[in-house]
Structure 1
C-alpha cells in the first residue's frame, strides 16, 4: 500500500477517535471564560478533526506529485471525506448544535453526487472534483469546526459566526451538487 492510501486510511481510522472525544464525556475538565463553556474533550475532538481533514489535501497532493494514483485511492479518498463529515454532522445534531435538516441536506447531497459518480464509472467515465466541490469541502470543514468549538472565539463579540458558516455550507453544498448534475446530465439516461 502506498503512502497516499495509508494517509487516507489514517483519516478513516481517525473518525471514531473524533467521535469518542466529541460524544463521550471524559472528565478532562471544562474551559470556562465568563459565560462561555467548552469541554477539553470537545477541543481535543476539534483538533483531531482538523488533523484528519487536513490529510485530505495531503494524500491527493502526494498521489499526484509521485504518480501514485490508484483505484483504491480513488475509492477510499471520497469515502473517507464523507465518513468524517457525516459522522461529525450527525454528532453535532446529537449535541443539539446543528439542526437535523442541515445534516440531512448535506449528507443527501454527498450520497447523490457519489451516486452520479458511480453511474459515470459504470459507463467508463470519471467525474473529477470541481472547484465548487473543493470549495464546498473547505466551507463545510470551517462550519463544522466552528460548531465543534461552540462558536469560539466569536462568542465573545456576539458574532454568530457558526450560524453564518452553516448557512454558507448549506448554500455552497446545494449549489455544488446542482453544478455536478448540470455539467454531467449526459451521464444520466432517463
Structure 2
C-alpha cells in the first residue's frame, strides 16, 4: 500500500497544489486595472484552468485517484474563481450581485456535500455543474482581458475588434443562470436523498 506522502505527492495533486499556489500571483496582477497585468492574469488563470482538467485526467489515467485529491481539487477550483471575481470587483468589471450568487452557491453546495458525506452519502456532480464551471472559466478570462482586442494584429477595422469585457459578461450571464439552476437541482437531490 502506498505511503501517505506518496498518495499526496503525486503528479495530479501537485498540479492541484500549483493551482492554489498561483492564486497570490493572480491577486498581485489584479491589483492594477491596466491592460498588461490583466493580460498576464488572464493567461495565468487560463493555464490554471487547463490544470483543473489535466489533474483529473491524469489521476484517472494513472489510477491514482486519492481522497486527498478529491478533497483538494474542488477547493482549488473554488478558491481561484473566488479570487479572480473578488479582485475585479473594485474595478466595476462585474456586478456584485452576480459574484454573491456564484460564491453563495458554491458555499451552500459545499456545506450540503459535507453534511451528506457525514451520512455516508455521495451526491454525484451533474452535467449542469460541469457546464457552469466551463462558462465561469470562459467568462472570467474575458473579464480579466477586459479591453478591446484585434483578431488580426495591425488590422484596425471595427469588424475585427472584440471587446473582451462584453464577451466576459455574455458568458457570465449564462454562468450565473446555470449556477442558480444547478444549485436548485443539487438542493432538490440533497433533500430527496436525505429524506430516504
- Whether contact under 8 Å (1:21, 1:41) holds in the other structure is yes
The Cα of 1:152 is off from its aligned counterpart by 4.0
* Structure-2 residue corresponding to 1:31: none
* Structure-2 residue corresponding to 1:33: none
Across the two proteins, how many residue pairs are aligned to each other?
177
**C-alpha distance in 1, partners of 2:163/2:144?**
17
**C-alpha distance in 2, partners of 1:24/1:148?**
11
Which residue, out of 158, 173, 178, partners 2:184? 178
- Whether contact under 8 Å (1:8, 1:56) holds in the other structure is yes
* Structure-1 residue corresponding to 2:66: 70
Instruction: Name the TM-score, length of structure 1 as normaliser.
Output: 0.86
| Post-superposition CA distance 1:93-130 (Å, at most 9, x none) | 12210111110000000011111110111011222222
Matches within 5 A, 1:30-179: 38-150=34-146, 152-153=148-149, 156=161, 160-179=166-185
| Post-superposition CA distance 1:141-172 (Å, at most 9, x none) | 11111111115448935793232212111101
* Structure-1 residue corresponding to 2:15: 7
Aligned residue for 2:121, secondary structure, equals coil
**C-alpha distance in 2, partners of 1:56/1:79?**
11
Structure 1 residues not aligned, in runs of 5+: 26-37
**C-alpha distance in 1, partners of 2:181/2:104?**
13
Instruction: Name the TM-score, length of structure 2 as normaliser.
Output: 0.83
Which residue, out of 3, 20, 24, partners 1:16? 24
**C-alpha distance in 2, partners of 1:73/1:179?**
25
Aligned residue for 2:128, secondary structure, equals helix
Please tell me the root mean square deviation across aligned C-alpha atoms, in Å.
Answer: 2.0
